[in-house]
Amino acid sequence: MVVMEPIDLPIPAWGADGTLRPLGKLAVHRQGLRHPAVSVFVLRGQEILIQQRAAGKYHTPGLWANTCCTHPNWGEPPADCAVRRLGEEVGITGLDLRHVGQVEYRAEVPGKGEMLTEHELVEVFVGEAGWPLDLELDPAEVAAVRWVSLDALRSEIAAKPVAFTPWLRIYLDRHAAMIFRSSEIAGSV
């Protein structure tokens, strides 16, 4: 399934006056406005499914990230958004996701010809996958996926941090205990 997500699509964001309103996605990132987001980690035993963002993405193209991440549509509950985007980006459906917490971060991210700012209030979800797991990648969103252990991922990030999205680095550095606390990976945290 290929679902295009235009960069001028309105997403919920808090304006300077603190009011949540629909604003264009690119404008939100240019202004560094705080906005709701969703991140999903799909686990299989001791491994995490990570994705390489497509080369055509308007920010962080080609960088490795968690299984999927996005912004909810206006009025869309975070859990519904997580299920929707997991299906749209990597083709995973029918996986039970559990909400593990909320993270707020602010980071500069490379965009197409300009630096942008992610200032997200993120609802984090985790799902445990089994075998077989059929994937159908949306090439407009995802260039590649791979399974990796938490220890190997941390080693890769330490060796070449610029190959990974700022938010994945933040999640693993500051929030790994929350994200992986009730999984087989918990012993590696």
Distances in Å between the alpha carbon of 182 and those of 79, 98, 128, 148? 18, 10, 10, 18
Is 118 among the residues known to form the active site? Answer: no
Q: Of 69, 81, 89, 141, which one is the catalytic site residue?
A: 69
As to burial, measured by CB atoms within 10 angstroms (0-12 exposed, 13-18 middle, 19+ buried), residue 113 is exposed
Is 120 among the residues known to form the active site? Answer: yes
* Torsion sign (Cα): 5, 160, 121, 100: positive
CA dist 45 and 180 (Å) reads 11
Question: Is residue 134 within 8 Å of residue 91, measured between CB atoms?
Answer: yes
CA dist 111 and 175 (Å) reads 25
CA dist 106 and 34 (Å) reads 8
Neighbours of 96 (CB within 10 A): 10
Q: Of 47, 89, 118, 120, which one is the catalytic site residue?
A: 120
Q: How many CA atoms lie within 13 A of 107 on its CB side?
A: 18
Question: Is residue 67 within 8 Å of residue 40, measured between CB atoms?
Answer: yes
Q: Indicate which residues carry an active-site annotation.
A: 69, 120
